[in-house]
Structure formats: C-alpha cells, structure tokens
Amino acid sequence: MLWSSPRLRRPRNIEIQQRVAEARRQTPESEAWLRLLEAALAESEDGAVWDAAVATPAAERPVKAPLLARARFAVGGRDAQDWVRSLVNLAGAANGAGRRLDGLALLEAAVCQDDARVDALAGAEGAGAGAPVLRVVGQMAALPLLQACARKLEQELPATWWEGYCPLCGAWPVLAEYSGLERQRQLRCGRCGTGWAIPSLRCVFCDETHHDHLGYLTPEASDQMRKIEICNTCHGYLKALTTIRPLAPWAVLLDDLMTVHLDVAALERGYHRPEGPAYALEAQVAAA
Ligand SMILES: [Zn+2]
Ligand SMILES: [Zn+2]
C-alpha cells in the first residue's frame, strides 16, 4: 500500500482535492508525479515543521542574488528524514527503500537545484531510487520548505525585481501569468510560488528585448487563454496563461503538470527550457 506511511496524507483543502482529481482525469499519464505532488501539497498545509525551518536571509548576499542565496536552514532532522524517505517509498521504490538515504542532503541539493549532487546521492548504496526518480522526489521534497519561505519572507522581497529568475529561490519561472484587468505580465515560480512583474517584451532567459526575436506559439486554437512565449535568440520558451485571478502558490506546479502537451509542442519546434538553476543558491540544510 503506497500510502501506508503515517507521514503521508492527502490535502484537506477542497479546492486542491478537486484540482488534483481533475488533473488525474485529464493527464492519467502523470499519475506518478501527481501522487508526489499531492503528498507535498498536504505536507505544505501542515507546515509547522517547515515554518520553523525558514531561514533568515543571509546578510551578505551578492547583488542580484535571490533572498535565499547562502541561507542556512535548520530542519527538524528526524522530520526531514521521515518526509524524504516516505516520498521515496511513494515514488514506487520497494518498502523500506531509502532507509540509508541522507534526507537532509537530498533536501539541500534539491533546494539548490543541484542535479549532479542528487544523481550522486542516487548512486550511493541504499539510496532506494535511481537518479531520475530521486530528482523528482527531491523537487517535491523541497516544496513544503520553499513554500513556507515564500509565505514567511514575502515582506522581505525586493519591491522591484528585474531578473528573469525567482527573487526568492532562484529558479526559472514555469509560467507567465496575465491576470486581472491590467493583464500585467507576472512570472511565477513553480517551486515557491512567488510571482514577480517583468515587462512583456523581454525574454526571461536571455534578456532579449527586440520584438523581432520574440514571439508566441498558439498550439491550441480551442484554448485562447494559453500560449507559449518564445525567444528566437536563445530558443527558450515559457508557457503563458491569461487568468481572472492569479493562481494560488500550490496551483502553479499543478498547472505546469497539466499542460505538459504545451511543453511537448514547444520542444517539437526546437525550443527548450534552460537546464539547471538560474541562480545557484549555495544554501545549506542541516538538522536543527
Ligand atoms: Zn521560487
Ligand atoms: Zn531568449
């Protein structure tokens, strides 16, 4: 039984339950991801452990560094281990797998988006999961911590932020959102859920501003609310959505998961998303 771990439960928020159920119907092929995301969203609701682990932003951060650069997190060590290992089990590894996985190390690597380090952890004896699975597990494991940071540090974010990457956690955005009457372009982070405004005619990845090099793909004539922003200078792409209200932080990654067909459309046309983090955080995660 996959949900046998006492650590794991399903979200209480009715809206989350409904959206996850809808995602299950629409994209049954994403079930493995959805199961992990669902557990991460539930864990995030019960965020006391993670709220307590929110780091004070480092005083000496380089210019243009996200708020969490060089942050030092102190997480309840036992809680972190239980959480990460139960996710490894939920990912389909044999029961008891991941018993020797260093959960804190995985959290740290995931927060820093250090894929090479995640792969090294997967290669260690007793890790319980291979590199591709552990990358996903790490990403989901870090979600409650990053979303707790977004909730608690919102007031400390710079009033204006001109970079293409998340002002809190340094990830590339997964979505450009145009909401309300003003339709201002708001970039959204799929990890912490933070949103930040940035002018429309500018590539978030390479800062290209010449309109001749920027454009859109509209793969679905039936869905006027969605398009894909593309840059012909760096060949990057970003999914875009017009909404009445901005998505809740928990909904950003779910929306990303439900629109994989748009990623496929962009990839087929030769566009891609950059690999690795936009900004290497160099954060540390240790036992409290
Ligand atoms: Zn972020
Ligand atoms: Zn570009």
Q: What is the pLDDT of residues 54-109, one digit of tens each?
A: 988 888 888 899 999 999 999 987 888 899 989 998 987 665 667 788 999 999 99
> HSE on the CB side for 222, CA within 13 Å?
0
Region of 126 on the Ramachandran plot (φ > 0 left; ψ -120 to 50 alpha; else beta)? left
Ligand 1 centre to CA of 104 (Å) is 20
Q: Look at 93 and 168; give whichever has higher pLDDT.
A: 168
Band of the pLDDT at 1, cuts 50, 70, 90? very low
Is the torsion defined by CA of 201, 207, 213, 215 positive or negative? negative
SS3 of residue 147 by DSSP? helix
The proportion of the chain whose per-residue pLDDT surpasses 70, expressed as a percent, equals 97
Ligand 2 centroid to Cα of residue 256, in Å, is 20
- Rounded Cα–Cα distance for residues 77 and 85 (Å): 12
**In angstroms, rounded to a whole number, what is the distance separating the alpha carbons of residues 145 and 130?**
23
Per-residue model confidence as pLDDT tens digits over 201-260: 899 999 999 999 999 999 877 788 999 999 999 999 999 999 999 999 999 999 999 999
Q: How many A from CA of 220 to the centre of ligand 2? A: 23
Measuring CA to CA, which residue among 119, 122, 128 is closest to residue 95?
128
The CA radius of gyration of the chain, in Å to the nearest whole number, is 19
Query: Do residues 189 and 203 lie in contact, with contact meaning Cβ atoms separated by under 8 Å?
Result: no
Protein residues near ligand 1, an ion, with CB under 5 A? 166, 168-169, 171, 189, 191-192, 194
As a three-state string, the secondary structure of 239-263 is EEEEECCCCCHHHHHHHHHHCHHHH
State the distance from the centre of ligand 2 to the C-alpha of 89, rounded, in angstroms: 39
